[in-house]
Amino acid sequence: MPLFFHIEPPLRYTLRERNRLKRWLRQVVAAENARLGDLNFIYCTDDYLLDLNRQYLNHHTLTDVITFDHSDEAGLIAGDIFISIDRVKDNATQFKTSTDDELRRVMVHGTLHLLGYGDKTADQKREMTQKENEYLALWQAETEQNLPKMPNNIQHNPNVANFARPNEPITLTYIG
């Protein structure tokens, strides 16, 4: 059940939290009652993914993810998930989220394709988005669970936090 992350040159990108990503993706697969075979995430540029899109799918448009299924038995997922970091960054800007959050959405999207979920119809897209959100919440819950507890003499300042953007620091007030 190897899970690999590859950076395809000429892309220069640092993937953070690799071990945590592996653990999370294994949880996703297990939650869908499947087993994990060899799964490769290949991070690349728009040009690289566009070439794959033309060659294998006869599509002539940019995309954020292409999934190739290599499973050879029911209940086992294996494949290659190609992700354009260029598209992920643009999507993050467009949807006002962090690049890391958007990358996790695209990673779980590709994984869900291997698990049998589609996104061609409106109903399939709704179900796919619901599943993406469910598994992103699992990631977030683990993040919150691992945050250090605030000491009793530190209080959250709600007047500042209400205006904070995602991923910006929240002002805390020391009461001493």
**What is residue 1's predicted lDDT score, i.e. its pLDDT?**
65
Instruction: Specify the pLDDT at position 142.
Output: 84
> Please, where are the H alpha helices in 32-121?
46-57, 85-94, 99-114
**What is the tens place of the pLDDT at every residue in 43-68?**
999 999 999 999 999 999 999 999 99
Kindly state the average pLDDT of the residues 25-38: 96
Question: pLDDT tens, 65-100?
Answer: 999 999 999 999 999 999 999 999 999 999 999 999
**Looking at residue 166, what is its pLDDT?**
47
Confidence check: pLDDT of 149 > 70: no
Question: What does the pLDDT look like over 97-146, one tens digit per residue?
Answer: 999 999 999 999 999 999 999 999 999 999 999 999 999 999 999 888 76
* Candidate CATH numbers 3.30.2270.10, 2.60.40.10, 3.40.390.30, 3.40.50.10800; the one for domain 3-150: 3.40.390.30
Domain boundaries, the chain: 3-150
